Structure 1
Amino acid sequence: MLRFAIPLLAATAIATPLAATEVQIQSSGPVIELTINEQVKAAPDIANVSAGVTSDAKTAVEAMQINAREMTSVINRIKALGIDEEDIQTTGVNLSARYDYDRTNQRQVFRGYSVSNRVSVKLREVARTGPVLDALVAAGATDISGPSFLIDDDTAAKAQAREAAMQTARERAMEYAGWAGYSGIRLLAVSETVQSSRPMLMEARVEMAAEPAVSTPIQPGMVSTGVSVTVKYEMTN
C-alpha cells in the first residue's frame, strides 16, 4: 500500500500487542506511507493431531460406558508414548440417538445411541507424528484428524521478517523520494501487525483400528510466519 501526502503534522503510532504509544512529530516535507508484508519460512517443531472414539449401544448408559473404556485405552496409550498430560486435551464428548430411515414405511426407526469422545494431542517431536498416529489407531481410535504443523516459538523468525520489512520499506521510500526530487528521508512512524504462523494441514480418517504394516508417512514441510509493517517517511533534502 502506498500513500503520498503533504501534511502539516504527522502522527506516529508504535503498536505492540500490549500497548500503543502516540507521538506527535512535526513534518515540513511531503510524507510517504508504505505497508510491507514480510514472510519467513521455517521448519515446524510442533504437530497437532486429534483422535477420537465412537461407540454405539442400545442405551445411552451402555454407550457411555463402552466409550469410556475405549477412550481410556487411547488416552493411556498417548501417555505411554511419553506425551505430557498438559499436552492432551479433551475437545468434545457427544451423545446422540441413532435412527435409520425405513423407506417402506417412510419413517425414522430408533436404533440406539452413539457416543463420540475426542482429544487433541500436541506433539513436540514432529518426527514421531507417524508412529504416534499408528499407535493411536492400534489403541482403539476410530477417527483421526490432522496433523497440523506450526512453530512453537517464532520469535526469531518474526525478528528476521521485521528486519527485512524495515529494510525493504527504507529502500522503497528512498526510491520514491528520488523520483520526487528529494535526496533523503526521515522516519516518522512505525506500526506493526503480527501475523500468526500458517499451519500446514493434513487429514487422516481411519475407519478401522488395525495395526499398520508400515508407519504412516508424514512430511512436515515448512510453515510461514511474519509481520506487516506500516512506516511513514518524510522526504528531505
Structure 2
Amino acid sequence: MKNFAFPITIAAAIAAPAQAAEIQIASQGPVVELTVNEVVRSAPDVAQVGAGVMTRAKTAQEAVRLNAQQMERLIDKLRALGIARKDIQTSNFNLNAQYSYNNDGTPPTFVGYDVSNQVSVKLRDLKRAGEVLDALVGAGANNIYGPNFMLEDDVDAKAQARKAAFERGRLMATDYARMAGYAGVRLLEVSESFQSFGPMPVMERAIAVSASSADTTTPIEPGEVGTGVSITVKYEMTR
C-alpha cells in the first residue's frame, strides 16, 4: 500500500531529517473519507502454467531417480517448444513416505515413497497454450495446473485505474460537501492498493488434457484480465 502525506511547510519537512514522522494536516471543516474501487480490463499477454511429475518407488533414492528422468524429459520438451530457461522455474519438490492404513487396527503398511516435482512455466505466445499443454502430457506430465492469465507489464493499466478512482473519489467528496452546504473540498490524505482479477475466481484449476488425439489441440480461451485499484481518500469540506 502506498501512502502519500503532504507536509505542512517546507521548514517542517527539513527540521528533522533523521527521524521518521507522520504529519497530520489540520482541518477546520468536516472531513469526508471514501474508499473507491476501479477495475480496468484488458487482454492478457502472458499465462502461467504449473506442470510436474509424481513418481513412486520402494526406496527414496529410486523414486527421486525416476522423477529426475521424467522431469528432464519434461523440461527438454519445453525447451524444444521454444520456451526460454528464464521462463521455467521449479516451484515445488516433495518427497514423502506413503502408507496404506487398515481398518482392522493393525499397523499401517508401507507402500513406497512419492516424489513430486513441479515447475512454473510462463507462456508468452497465448495462441500456443493448448499446444503446450498437450505436449506436456505427451512428455509425461501427470500434474498440470492453470493456466492463469495476466499482464506482464500492468503499469499503464494501474495508471488508468488510479486516475479513474481518484477522479470518482473527488467528485463523490464534492457532492457530499455541497449536500452539506459547503462550496468544495480540500484533499487531506490518499492511500491505494492494487489487485489483479482473472476471468474466473482466483484459484488453482486443474486442466485435463489428452495426448491420444494428436490432431486435436486442447482449446484455451484467454478472455480478459482486470487490474484493480482501491483508494481511500480524505477530503476537508471547505466554504
TM-score of the alignment, normalized to the shorter chain, above 0.5:
yes
Cα distance in 2, alignment partners of residues 136 and 148 from structure 1 = 16
Counterpart-to-counterpart distance in 2, 1:29 and 1:207? 63
- Whether 1:14 aligns to 2:13 is no
Aligned residues of 2:130 and 2:218 also touching (Cα < 8 A): yes
Pairwise CA distance, 1:161: 1.0
**Post-superposition shift, 1:202?**
6.0
The alignment yields a C-alpha RMSD, in angstroms, of: 2.6
State the Cα deviation string for residues 177-222 of structure 1 (Å, max 9, x = none): 2111122222233x22221312445623559764554111112222
Tell me, which stretches of 5 or more residues in structure 2 are unaligned? 6-19
Per-residue deviation, residues 34-55 of structure 1 (Å, max 9, x unmatched): 2211121121112111111112
Residue in 2 that maps onto 1:198: 197
Deviation of 1:226 (Å) = 1.9
Q: Is the 8 A contact 2:209 2:218 kept in 1?
A: no
Q: Which residue of 1 aligns with 2:17?
A: none
More strand by share: 1
- Structure 1 SS opposite 2:108: strand
Q: 2:154 matched to 1:151? A: no
Listed as ranges, the matches of 1:73-152 within 5 Å are: 73-101=73-101, 106-152=106-152
The 3 A distance-change label for structure 1 pair 126 and 21 is: farther
Question: Could you say if the C-alpha distance between residues 82 and 36 of structure 1 is closer, same or farther in structure 2, counting changes exceeding 3 Å?
Answer: same
Shift of 1:31: 2.4
1:4 is matched with none
Q: Please, which of 222, 228, 231 is the counterpart of residue 229 of structure 1? A: 231
Q: Which runs of 5+ in 1 are unaligned?
A: 1-12
- Residues 138 and 230 (structure 1), Cα distance of their counterparts in 2 relative to 1, 3 Å cut: same
Q: Deviations over 1:145-166 (max 9, x none)?
A: 1111111111111111111112
Residue 43 of structure 1 aligns with an amino acid whose one-letter code is A
> What amino acid sits opposite 1:215 in the alignment?
T
Separation (CA, whole Å) in 1 of partners of 2:143 and 2:209: 7
* Letter aligned with residue 4 of structure 2: I
Checking the alignment, whether the CA contact within 8 Å between 1:183 and 1:236 is kept in structure 2 is yes
Of residues 217, 220, 224, the one that matches 1:218 is 220
Which AA in structure 1 matches 2:51?
Answer: A
| Partner-residue secondary structure (3-state), 1:221 | coil
- Aligned partners of 1:116, 1:156: CA distance in 2, in Å? 39
TM-score by length of 1: 0.81
**C-alpha distance in 2 between matches for 1:60 and 1:23:** 60
Per-residue CA distance 1:82-132 (angstroms, 9 max, x = gap): 111111111222222333345678443333332221111111222221111
SS in 2 for 1:220: coil
Bigger drift between 22-31 and 62-71 goes to 22-31
Q: State the distance in 1 between where 2:92 and 2:65 align.
A: 16
Paired amino acid for 1:172: M
**How has the CA–CA distance of structure 1 residues 30 and 219 changed in structure 2, closer, same or farther, with 3 Å as cutoff?**
same
Change (3 A) 1:107 1:31: closer
Residue 139 of structure 1, CA deviation: 0.8
Equivalent pairs: percent with the same residue?
Answer: 52
2:39 touches 2:161 (CA, 8 Å); kept in 1?
Answer: yes
For 1:176, the equivalent position in structure 2 comes to 176
| Paired position in structure 2 for 1:49 | 49
One-letter amino acid matched to 1:232? K
Q: Which moved more, 1:100-109 or 1:213-222?
A: 100-109
Query: What is the deviation of 1:59?
Result: 2.5
Write the distance in 2 (CA, Å) between the matches of 1:144 and 1:97: 22
